[in-house]
Amino acid sequence: MNCNKTIKQLPAYLDHELSRQEVAELELHLEICIFCSTELGALRATSKMLDAWQDTSPRRRYVDSVLNQIRAEERGVTGKAKIGMRLLHQRCVPTAIRAAAAIVFLIGFSVFSGHVPIKRTQDGVALSGVGDLEPAKPIPPEKYLMPSYIRPSEIGLVLRGYDNRSPIVKTSSGGLPIRNSRDGRFFFGRGGFTEVNHVYFPRDGMSVESVVPLELP
């Protein structure tokens, strides 16, 4: 076996995907070839390093919402409105015009859909969805930070919303550094953060989505 063939077999060797005969031939070559042995060591180290990428911890039980959707479908109620809004979030809008159209569509949809009212939280975020906003919940100042300074010209498109308190935010930053405050909100721009005391959150189970431009503090 030559070096070229050996090198090509190394990942499969480490993954135990070679036949006995292939393993025997490869190990024979490795005993006499420092180059291939070194390459094997490097691949082993690479594989070990890959382990450092940790698993994602589920933030909730997703199966519950899936079961709810299945039950709703079986009752003949489709979640088309909600899915439509989610799809708009998923599609990446290439231009500001299309983004604006999405904003108008979503807000318009929310207004005319009748059962999805728009609510504005104390911190100026427009939310559409079923349910009420929770009263202001005091948050220790050190846990919630607002940007103290953002220039209007630095503001790009912000798509934001909540899904059971989990913020859903996508934004184009226009090339600026992005920060997240401790409560999971996201801002971009230059300057520091100042503290605020509280903010409204949607109630548990309230499924809300919104598309709003980031407002200046």
Fill in the per-residue mask, 1 to 20: x = in contact with another protein (CB under 8 A), - = not in contact: -------x-xxx--x-x---
Q: Please tell me whether residue 77 binds another protein under the rule CB under 8 A.
A: no
Q: How many residues does the chain have?
A: 217
Query: What are the structure tokens assigned to 201, written together?
Result: 């959150």
- How far is the C-alpha of 68 from the C-alpha of 66, rounded, in Å? 5
- How far is the C-alpha of 124 from the C-alpha of 192, rounded, in Å? 20
Query: What are the structure tokens assigned to 17, written together?
Result: 């995907």
Residue type, 103: I
> Taking CB under 8 A as the criterion, which residues in 144-183 touch another protein?
145, 156-157, 159, 163, 166-183
> Taking CB under 8 A as the criterion, which residues in 85-124 touch another protein?
86, 90-96
What is the size of the binding site for another protein (CB under 8 A)? 62
DSSP three-state, residue 182: coil
Nearest to 154 by CA among 216, 82, 209: 216
> Taking CB under 8 A as the criterion, which residues in 33-62 touch another protein?
42-43, 45-47, 49-50, 52-59, 61-62
Residue numbers at the binding site for another protein (CB under 8 A): 8, 10-12, 15, 17, 42-43, 45-47, 49-50, 52-59, 61-63, 65-67, 69-70, 86, 90-96, 145, 156-157, 159, 163, 166-184, 186
